[in-house]
């Protein structure tokens, strides 16, 4: 099963379309049970996701492949190796796990700083110690890979990708990562819920892309698809992709996603897509 479960909502309110806030621990338990029943075995979390790791640890995540992420290295850090060791120790303690499947960096460009080599070696050390199976990076845009992968090797790259986002394909990185045996984990399949909204629901700040969203609305309506069906089936159909991370607020929402993922998708119109980083990078939405 290519679907993986994002857990940001388990530790904090997350996403432009999130009206429910943080998911209750009881509902998290229901979500995990449903996911396991449907052969979903990867959980994507992070130290920065509030108390997500602690919630997972309390519920018990034996048998799950856990991907977690390190936050940015603080400016006053004097010993990178010790800092990484402390972060991983604390993360494993919260998760109540002896190891995680993957450890990613939320700020991989720090690897290009003066302490980058030391930082990279500290990550490798976690693998050598058997506390991490694979190391990788979480990027905002494919151009970050140009510098990073020319000097360092990673097992996993997590990147945003969806039916409107052409950057991974047009940059050539989708194929290159796959050819190099690097796992490709995809997030932002629904563009933080923006692609699931009716035209009347979309915030006015996205009016600059009114024509693009109009094409998107026309595509799903003409093909009698729900936005969830179109988004999921497109990304899951890409053979290079290893994992598709979806975040949910309820077990009912997860069931809808599992059902929507099954089926075929009609040919995508060539006009349906963009490489505009302002739209495709939610961290930039505060500029709108």
DSSP letters, the chain, are --EEEE-HHHHS--STT--S-SPPHHHHHHHHHHHHHTT--EEE--TTSTTHHHHHHHH--TTPEEEEEE-PPPTT-S-HHHHHHHHHHHHHHHHT-S-EEEEEES-GGGGGSTTHHHHHHHHHHHHHTTSEEEEEEE-SSTHHHHHHTTT---SEEEEE--TTB-HHHHTSHHHHHHHTT-EEEEE-TTTTTGGGS-TTTS-GGGGGGHHHHHHHHHHHHHTT--HHHHHHHHHHT-TT--EEEEE-SSHHHHHHHHHHTSS--PPPPTTS-B--HHHH-GGGGGG-
Q: Hey, where are the domains in the chain?
A: 3-287
Chain centroid, CA 126 distance in Å: 22
Query: Which pLDDT tens digit goes with each residue over 111-144?
Result: 999 999 999 999 999 999 999 999 999 999 999 9
**Is 101 a residue whose pLDDT tops 70?**
yes
Chain centroid, CA 70 distance in Å: 14
**Is 19 a residue whose pLDDT tops 70?**
no
Per cent of the chain over pLDDT 70 is 97
99's CB contacts (< 8 A; 6+ apart) are: 92, 130, 131, 132, 133
Instruction: Match domain 3-287 to its CATH number in 3.20.20.70, 3.20.20.100, 3.40.30.10, 2.40.50.100.
Output: 3.20.20.100
Q: What is the mean pLDDT of residues 205-230?
A: 96
Bridge partners, 160 (sequence order): 187
| pLDDT attached to residue 11 | 84
Comparison of pLDDT for 77 and 15, the residue scoring more: 77
The whole-chain average pLDDT of the chain stands at: 94
| pLDDT attached to residue 15 | 47
**Is 20 a residue whose pLDDT tops 80?**
no
| pLDDT attached to residue 18 | 41
**Is 14 a residue whose pLDDT tops 60?**
no
| pLDDT attached to residue 13 | 59
Query: Which pLDDT tens digit goes with each residue over 143-196?
Result: 999 999 988 999 999 999 999 999 999 999 999 999 999 999 999 999 988 999
204's CB contacts (< 8 A; 6+ apart) are: none
Query: Which pLDDT tens digit goes with each residue over 28-59?
Result: 999 999 999 999 999 999 999 999 999 999 99
CA atoms within 13 A on the CB side of 98: 3
**Is 16 a residue whose pLDDT tops 90?**
no
pLDDT category, 271, cuts 50, 70, 90? confident
Q: What is the mean pLDDT of residues 277-287?
A: 91
Give the predicted TM-score (pTM) of the model. 0.93
| pLDDT attached to residue 270 | 84
Q: What is the mean pLDDT of residues 83-93?
A: 97
149, two tokens:
């992968």
pLDDT category, 12, cuts 50, 70, 90? confident
Q: What is the mean pLDDT of residues 82-94?
A: 97
């Amino acid at each position: 099963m290519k679907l993986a479960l994002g857990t940001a909502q388990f530790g904090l309110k997350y996403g432009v379309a999130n009206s429910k806030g943080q998911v209750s621990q009881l509902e998290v338990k229901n979500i995990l049970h449903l996911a396991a029943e449907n052969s979903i075995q990867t959980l994507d979390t992070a130290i920065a996701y509030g108390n997500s790791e602690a919630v997972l640890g309390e519920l018990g995540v034996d048998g799950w492949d856990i991907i977690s992420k390190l936050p940015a290295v603080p400016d006053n850090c004097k010993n990178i190796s010790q800092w990484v060791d402390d972060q991983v120790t604390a993360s494993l303690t919260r998760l109540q796990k002896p190891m995680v499947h993957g450890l990613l960096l939320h700020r991989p460009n720090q690897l290009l700083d003066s302490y980058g080599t030391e930082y990279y070696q500290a990550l490798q050390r976690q693998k050598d110690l058997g506390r991490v199976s694979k190391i990788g990076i979480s990027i905002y845009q494919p151009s970050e890979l140009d510098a990073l992968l020319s000097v360092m090797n990673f097992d996993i790259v997590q990147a945003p990708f969806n039916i409107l986002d052409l950057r991974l394909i047009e940059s050539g990185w989708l194929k290159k990562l796959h050819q190099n045996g690097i796992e490709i984990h995809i997030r932002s399949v629904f563009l933080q819920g923006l692609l699931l909204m009716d035209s009347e629901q979309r915030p006015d700040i996205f009016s600059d892309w009114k024509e693009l969203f109009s094409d998107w609305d026309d595509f799903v309506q003409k093909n009698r698809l729900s936005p969830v069906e179109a988004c999921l089936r497109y990304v899951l159909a890409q053979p290079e992709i290893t994992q598709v991370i979806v975040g949910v607020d309820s077990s009912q929402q997860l069931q809808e996603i599992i059902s929507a993922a099954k089926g075929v998708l009609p040919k995508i119109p060539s006009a349906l897509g963009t490489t505009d980083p302002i739209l495709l990078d939610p961290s930039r939405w505060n500029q709108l």
